[in-house]
């Protein structure tokens, strides 16, 4: 008889779908925080 080779069924991959929107608002935030620094803390 011919040996049958048992192929382990490949593990079913975990699938993740994502929507990612990259914003470069670091500068907008820094800008706002420097504003607060000058306005509220009297350093301007």
Partner 1 sequence: MSLEEAKQQLDTAKQSGLVGETPTGYLAVVKADGNAREIVDAINEARRQEYSRIAAKHNIPVAEVEAVAGKKAVEKTPAGQFVRIGDKWVRK
Partner 2 sequence: SATPRVTVSAELEGSNASRILAETLEQWPAGIEISDGSLSANASVRLPDTGQSLEGKIIASGMSGIVDRMAWTGLNGTLELSMEDALVVRTSELQLAQLNPGVPLGPVSITGSYRAPLQALTKGAISLVRGRAGFLGGEARGKPGEWSLADLPLTVPVWLNDIQVDRLMTVYPAEGLAGSGTLQGEVPLVISREGVRVAGGNIRAVAPGGTLKLPADRLQALARNNETMDLVVRALQNFNYSVLNSTIDYDQEGTLNLGLRLEGSNPQVRDGHPIVVNINLQEDIPALLTSLQLSGRVNEAVTEKVRKLMEKREAGNGEN
Reported residue count of the chain is 44
For the CB of residue 15, give the shortest distance to partner 1 in the complex, in Å. 32
Q: Is residue 23 involved in binding partner 1 (CB under 8 A)?
A: no
HSE-up (13 A, CA, CB side) for residue 9? 3
Residue 5 or 26 with smaller CB distance to partner 2: 26
Ramachandran bin of 34, using left for φ above 0, alpha for ψ from -120 to 50, beta for the remaining angles: alpha
Please report, as ranges, the residues that interact with partner 2 according to CB under 8 A.
10-11, 13-24, 26-27
Among 11, 24, 33, 40, which residue interacts with partner 1 (rule: CB under 8 A)? 33
């Amino acid at each position: 008889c011919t040996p049958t080779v048992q192929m382990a069924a490949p593990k079913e991959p975990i699938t993740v779908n994502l929507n990612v929107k990259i914003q470069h608002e670091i500068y907008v935030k820094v800008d706002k925080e420097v504003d607060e620094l000058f306005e509220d803390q009297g350093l301007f």
